[in-house]
Amino acid sequence: MQQYLQNKKGLVQNVFDQVYDQYDLMNDFMSLGIHRLWKKSLLNMMNPLPNQKLIDVACGTGDVAKLFLNYVNKSSQITCIDPNKGMIKKGKEKLNKFKNIDWIIAPAEKLPIKDNSFDFYTISFGLRNAKNLNQALTEAYRVLKPGGRFFCLEFSKIQNEGLDFIYRNYSKLIPSIGKLVVGNKEPYEYLIKSIENFINQDELIDLMTKSAFQKCLYRNLSGGIVSIHSGWKILC
């Protein structure tokens, strides 16, 4: 299965070049709009202050960046990074009124950013797509300032058997929804498999700790359908 997922990554990247224009609509269909509440919970947990700097990796079309700027009354600088040029293009169009966002095409494992640059690092529904989780986490740690904080919003392992049963059956419908909405079901077949095969909450905490993050913790949302992980860059 892991080999299957690795082989699918390049294909999904190419498919997203074609479907990025419907990406936001598809997210609403897949999550019944709940992804917006999850992202607001992320911002509330971050509780950023004006003029603090954010790097948002796997930024998609910029949802987290927009929430962050609204939270701090547009008084911060943000760098949005995504490996998909279509997502970056769509994000620029959607958030063109914000002049304090830099947009960069790059993977999470190789950020073209100087060391110790940001107060916050966020990655939402993108970490499981990294080809090398350890390298992505190492890069996250590198670009954070001392005292900076890492946040990951990601699909996780559901804690309740009943909810897990309902969610698994609903997930089987997602590729068909993808076919209906964007005309292609392949990226959403990958989506389901990537969620099923991603590590659990405690395993991600272990990887974060091995990457030198401290005071690592997570918070489950919607019964563990997703979770928010966080860790600090603290230099002794």
Compute the chain's Rg from CA coordinates. 17
If one counts the domains in the chain, the total is: 1
DSSP per position, 168-202: HHHHTTHHHHHHHHHS--HHHHHHHHHHHHS--HH
The type of residue at 8 is K
Tens of pLDDT along the chain (236 residues) come to 444 445 545 655 665 665 666 777 777 777 888 999 999 999 999 999 999 999 999 999 999 999 999 999 888 999 999 999 999 999 999 999 999 999 999 999 999 999 999 999 999 999 998 989 999 999 999 999 999 999 999 999 998 999 999 999 998 888 888 788 777 787 788 888 888 999 999 999 999 999 999 999 999 999 999 999 999 999 86
Greatest alpha-carbon pair distance for the chain in Å reads 53
Any idea of the CA torsion for 136, 168, 40, 135, to the nearest 10 degrees? Answer: 0
pLDDT digits (tens, 9 = 90+) for 121-144: 999 999 998 989 999 999 999 999
The answer to whether residues 44 and 51 touch, using CB atoms and an 8 Å cutoff, is: no
pLDDT digits (tens, 9 = 90+) for 28-37: 777 888 999 9
pLDDT, position 3: 47
At 119, list the tokens.
Answer: 């107060």
Any idea of the CA torsion for 235, 49, 137, 214, to the nearest 10 degrees? Answer: 40
Distance CA 138, CA 152 (A): 14
| Domain at 91, CATH number | 3.40.50.150
Q: Which domain holds residue 62?
A: 2-232
The answer to whether residues 20 and 14 touch, using CB atoms and an 8 Å cutoff, is: no
